[in-house]
Structure 1
Amino acid sequence: MDISLIIAVAAVAIISVFLSPKANSNNAFFKGHSPGGKPPGLLILTFSQVTTWIFARSLLNAAILGFYYGIWGTLAYATYYLSFLTGAKIIDSVRFEHGFNSIQAFLTDRFGSWGTRCYNFVIGVRLISEVFANILVIGILFGVAGSTSYTAAVALFAVITLVYSMLGGLHASLRTDLFQMVLFLILLGGLTILVLTTGQLTSATLMFKSFVITDPGPVLILVALLQIWSYPMHDPVMMDRGFLADRETTRKSFYHAAWISFISIVLFGCFGIIAGASAISGEAMNAALLRLLGEMPMLMFNIILVISAMSTLDSTLSSSSKLVAVDMKWVEPSLTNGRITMAVFVLLGLLLVFVGNKDLFSAVAVSGTASMYLAPVIFFSLWGKRTDIPLWSYLSCFAMALAGAALYFTESSGHTHLLGESHKYTKLLWISLSVLAGGCLLFWAGMMSKHQHPTLTETTV
C-alpha cells in the first residue's frame, strides 16, 4: 500500500509541475492572471476556493469529529464552510461598496497603521501554521515521526510543491487547483460508491450518536455559527481569491464553493462516522477503517489527503508571497522576492515540523477564536459603514480575542482549569460568546464616546 501511495503521490506531483507555467509578470504571480492578462473564470475560481479550503487537516478533523461525536461532529465542522457565504458578503462590501482593493487597505482607512499591523499578525501566524500543518499530515501518512520515510516524505513533498509554486505563483496555483479538485472529486465519489456497496453507510450508522444539545457535537455547531461571521476575513487564501475576477464571477464562485465544500466535508466525515459506529474498544479510526473497508478504499482515503495537502500548500505559499510583497510591502513586489518569500515560509514550516512542536498543530484550532476580533469590524465598520469607531475600540477587541484564543488553548491542552471541568467545546462556546459580545460592546462604547466628545481627535499612531 505504501508503494501504491508513493506512486500516486509522485504522479500527482509530476502533473502539477507540468501544469505550472512560469510566471513572467507580477500580475500572473501575485494576481493569478493568465499570460494574456485575463483573470480566472468561474469554474477555476470556484474549484480553487474549494480545494484550498478543504485541506488535509480539515478532512482529518471532519472524520475524527465524526468518529467521536457522530454526524453532529461532522456537521459541526461542515458548518464552518458556510464561511463562503459570509465571505462573499465581506468581499462584495470591501470591493464594490467601499471601493478598496484589499482588506489591508480598508483597515488602514478605518484604523490607521495599527489596523493592518494587528491583521497582518493574525494572518501571518495562520499562513505559517497552515504550511506546517499540511506538511505534518504528509509525514504522518508515510511513517512515524523521526523515521527515514517520515523525513523523506516531508522533505520531498515540501520541495516539489515549492518548485511548482515558485514557477508560476498564484496563476500556477489556480491551474493546479483545477486539476487537483477534479481528481479530488473523482476519488471522493469513487470512495463513497465503494463504501455504499459494502453496506457500511446506513441511517443507523449515521445516527449512532443521538442529538443532545449539551453534547460536544451540537455545541461545536453553535461555536461554528458564531465564528463564521469573522472566520473568512482572517483567511488570506479565501480573501485573495475574492479580488481576482469581476463582481458576478466572484459572488457566484463563493456561493458554489459553499455547497460543494459542505457536501464534500460531510461525505468525508461519514468515513469517520462508520469507523466510530463499529470501532472496537480502544481501536483508532484508521485501524477501524482499514478493518471495515479494506486496503483499496484506504489507499483512496490517503490519496485524497495528499491531494488536499498539496493544493492547500501551494495556495498558502502564493498568499504568503502576496502578503509580504504586496500587502505588507516589506519587499519590492517582484518575481524574485515573491519566490524567496515562498521558500522562507516553507523553511519555517519545516522547522516547526522537525522541532516536533505539536502544540502549534493543536493551536491551529484557536484561529477561529482569534479571528473574532474582526466580527465587530465587519458588523460596525464594514456592513454598518461606521467611520467613527476609535482606535482604542479596535485594539481592545484585538487584545480580548487573543486572550480568548490563548485561554482556549491552555484550557483544551490541560495547562489550566480556570473554566472548570466541562468539555473543551463547551468552554470554547462560552469564550466565543464572550469575545463576540465583548467586542461588539467595545465598538458600541467607542461609537458612543465619539458622539459625546465630538471635538476629540483621533490620536495619530
Structure 2
Amino acid sequence: MQATAIIGIFGLVVLASLVAAPRRATIEGFFGGATPEGRAPGLWVLVLSQVTTWIFARSLMNSAILGYFYGIWGTLAYAAYYTSFLTGGFIVGRLRENGAHSVQDWLGAHFGGVGVTCYNLVIALRLLSEVFANLLVVGLIFAAALPEVGIAREVSILLVAGLGLAYSAWGGLSAALRTDVLQMLVFLVVFALAFGALVTAPGFDLGAVLTATGTSGSWNGQVLLLVAFLQVFSYPAHDPVMMDRGFLADRETTRRSFVHAFWISTLCIIAFGFFGIEAALAGAEYEGQLIGTWSAMFPPWLFVALLVSLLISALSTLDSALASAARLVVDELRLTRRTLNGGRLAMVVFMVLGALLTLWGNQTLFDAVAVSGTASMFLTPVLLVGLVMGRQIALWSYLLGFGAAMLGAVAYFARDGAVFAAILPEGHKYEQLLVICVAVLVVGFAAVLAGAKRRV
C-alpha cells in the first residue's frame, strides 16, 4: 500500500512536470531561461527554483543523517552550507559590477583559458556528483519501499533518469525553472504536513531536539560546522546551478532572490534534520540511510510523505543540473554548436554517466559534498583578493592554489589509502577534513598574496 501511494503521488508530480514544461523550445530559453516571449524570470520563480535545487534529496538526507549521529550540531553544520546563498549573492553582485556575465567570464579575463579550464573541471565534477547522488537517493527510496522486488533500485533509477531527461532535454533551463516552481510548491505542502505531524506528535519535545547530541556525540558535528564556515565562501561559486541563476534577471531582483532563498532553504534543511534527531532520541536503529528507520518509527502516511518529499527534491535537482551541464558544454567549453540538439546531447551524456556511477559501491552521501567543497576552496583566496580587493593575481599563484585544493579533495576521498593515512592525523574523518581545509586555505592564500599586485 505504501509503495503504491509513493509511486502514484510521484507519478502525478512527474506528469504535472511534463505538462508544465514549455511546449516550444527556443535557444535563449534552453540556455538562458527566458520565457517564450523573451522575458527574464521573475523574483519568486528565481527564489523557488534556487530553493528547490538546493534542498535536493541528498541534502535532505544529509541533514537528517547528521542530525541522527551528531544531534542539533550535525543539522546546524549542514544548514551552515546554506549561507552560501548570502556569499553567492555577494559574489554574483561583485561579478556583475565588474561587467562579467559568469564566473568563467571573470576568470577568463584574469587567468585566460587555463584558469577557466581549471574551474570548468571542478564544476563538471560537481554536476556529475549532483546527478549521481540524487539518482542514488531515488534508488535507496524504492529499494526500501519495494523490498520484495530485487531490482527495484536499478529500475527506479533508470525510470526517473529517463523521465527527468525527457522534459529537461525538451526545454532546457526554461523547463527547469517552470517545473521547479511546481515541484517546490508541492514539496512545501507535502513536507509541511509531515513536519506538522512530527512536532504535534505525543512525546515530541522541542527542547530535547534543540539540545540533542545524537547517537555519536556532538563533537564531530561542531567540527563539521567549522568546515562549513571555511568552505562557504567558495562553495556557491563552484555550483553552476546557483551561479547560472545569478545572471538571468536584473541585479535587484537577483539580490532579493538570493536573500529569500537563504532563509527558506535553511528552515527546510533544519526542519528535515529534526526527523533524524527524533529518530536518535527515540533510540531507533540506523537502517538504510534512515529510510528503514523511519518506516518503523512513523505511521504509513507520514513515511510516504517523507519519501515523496525526497523524490520531488531529487527530480527538481536533476533537471537543473542537466540544464547547467548543457550550458557548460555548449556555452563555456564550446564542445558542440549552440543548438538545441547540442544541449540535449550534453544532457544525455551527464545523465548516463551519473546513472552509471550509481553502480559504484560508495553510498556515503556527504562524501560528495566534502570532496567538491574542498576542491572549490582554491576560489576563496582568488575571489577575495582578486574580485573583492581588486588585486591582479599571477597565473602561477592561481594554479598553485588550484593544485592544493585538488590535492586536498583527493586526500579526503582517499584518506584510507596508505599514502594519505600516513600524512593525515589520526582521528575522525571530519577532523581530518578540517585539517585538510585549513591546509588548503593556508597554501592558497600564501600563493595568491605572494603573486598579487595592485592593478595599474
**TM-score, normalised on structure 1?**
0.92
Q: Is 1:257 aligned to 2:261, yes or no?
A: yes
Q: Residues 20 and 168 of structure 1 are in contact (CA less than 8 Å); yes or no, is this contact kept in structure 2? A: yes
Q: Is 1:187 aligned to 2:190, yes or no?
A: yes
CA distance in 2, matches of 1:326, 1:222: 36
CA distance in 2, matches of 1:288, 1:201: 19
CA distance in 2, matches of 1:258, 1:214: 25
Q: Residues 411 and 418 of structure 1 are in contact (CA less than 8 Å); yes or no, is this contact kept in structure 2? A: no
CA distance 1:214–1:185, shift in 2 (3 Å): closer
The Cα of 1:418 is off from its aligned counterpart by 2.9
User: Structure 1 counterpart of 2:179, which letter?
Assistant: T
Q: Residues 213 and 219 of structure 1 are in contact (CA less than 8 Å); yes or no, is this contact kept in structure 2? A: no
Q: Is 1:380 aligned to 2:385, yes or no?
A: yes
| Structure 2 residue aligned with 1:99 | 99
SS at match of 2:264: helix
User: Structure 1 counterpart of 2:169, which letter?
Assistant: M
2:222 to 218, 221, 228: 218
1:281-296 residue pairs with structure 2 within 5 A?
Answer: 285-296=290-301
Q: Residues 206 and 274 of structure 1 are in contact (CA less than 8 Å); yes or no, is this contact kept in structure 2? A: no
User: Structure 2 counterpart of 1:156, which letter?
Assistant: L
The Cα of 1:330 is off from its aligned counterpart by 1.3
Q: Residues 419 and 427 of structure 1 are in contact (CA less than 8 Å); yes or no, is this contact kept in structure 2? A: yes
Q: Residues 139 and 153 of structure 2 are in contact (CA less than 8 Å); yes or no, is this contact kept in structure 1? A: yes
| Structure 1 residue aligned with 2:138 | 138
CA distance in 1, matches of 2:163, 2:285: 40
User: Structure 2 counterpart of 1:182, which letter?
Assistant: L
| Structure 2 residue aligned with 1:26 | 27
Query: Moved runs in structure 1, 4+ residues, more than 6 A?
Result: 412-415
Q: Is 1:430 aligned to 2:435, yes or no?
A: yes
| Structure 1 residue aligned with 2:153 | 150
| Structure 2 residue aligned with 1:407 | 411
Q: Residues 51 and 311 of structure 1 are in contact (CA less than 8 Å); yes or no, is this contact kept in structure 2? A: yes
| Structure 1 residue aligned with 2:65 | 64
| Structure 2 residue aligned with 1:84 | 85
CA distance in 1, matches of 2:251, 2:366: 36
Q: Residues 29 and 335 of structure 1 are in contact (CA less than 8 Å); yes or no, is this contact kept in structure 2? A: yes
After superposition, the C-alpha distances for 1:342-386 in whole angstroms (9 at most, x for unaligned) are: 111111112222355658984443111110000011101111111
CA distance 1:213–1:352, shift in 2 (3 Å): closer
CA distance 1:281–1:289, shift in 2 (3 Å): closer
SS at match of 1:354: coil
1:44-443 residue pairs with structure 2 within 5 A?
Answer: 44-95=45-96, 97-143=97-143, 147-199=150-202, 200-209=204-213, 215-280=219-284, 285-356=290-361, 358=363, 362-387=367-392, 389-411=393-415, 416-443=421-448
The Cα of 1:290 is off from its aligned counterpart by 2.8
CA distance 1:287–1:143, shift in 2 (3 Å): closer
CA distance 1:214–1:397, shift in 2 (3 Å): farther
Q: What is the CA RMSD across the aligned residues, in angstroms?
A: 2.3
The Cα of 1:54 is off from its aligned counterpart by 0.8
User: Structure 1 counterpart of 2:305, which letter?
Assistant: M
User: Structure 2 counterpart of 1:125, which letter?
Assistant: L
CA distance in 2, matches of 1:188, 1:143: 21
The Cα of 1:287 is off from its aligned counterpart by 3.7
SS at match of 2:421: coil
Greater alpha carbon shift after TM alignment, 407-416 vs 35-44: 407-416
| Structure 2 residue aligned with 1:457 | none
The Cα of 1:421 is off from its aligned counterpart by 2.4
Greater alpha carbon shift after TM alignment, 348-357 vs 317-326: 348-357
The Cα of 1:398 is off from its aligned counterpart by 0.3
CA distance in 2, matches of 1:192, 1:155: 30
CA distance in 2, matches of 1:172, 1:149: 28
CA distance 1:364–1:142, shift in 2 (3 Å): same
The Cα of 1:288 is off from its aligned counterpart by 3.5
The Cα of 1:209 is off from its aligned counterpart by 1.3
| Structure 2 residue aligned with 1:459 | none
SS at match of 1:220: helix
Q: Residues 162 and 314 of structure 1 are in contact (CA less than 8 Å); yes or no, is this contact kept in structure 2? A: yes
User: Structure 1 counterpart of 2:15, which letter?
Assistant: I
SS at match of 2:233: coil
User: Structure 1 counterpart of 2:37, which letter?
Assistant: G
User: Structure 2 counterpart of 1:296, which letter?
Assistant: W
The Cα of 1:437 is off from its aligned counterpart by 2.0
Q: Residues 23 and 169 of structure 1 are in contact (CA less than 8 Å); yes or no, is this contact kept in structure 2? A: no
CA distance in 2, matches of 1:83, 1:380: 19
CA distance 1:412–1:195, shift in 2 (3 Å): farther
Q: Residues 142 and 153 of structure 2 are in contact (CA less than 8 Å); yes or no, is this contact kept in structure 1? A: yes
Uncovered stretches (5+) of structure 1, i.e. residues with no partner: 455-461
Greater alpha carbon shift after TM alignment, 353-362 vs 173-182: 353-362
Uncovered stretches (5+) of structure 2, i.e. residues with no partner: none
User: Structure 2 counterpart of 1:269, which letter?
Assistant: G
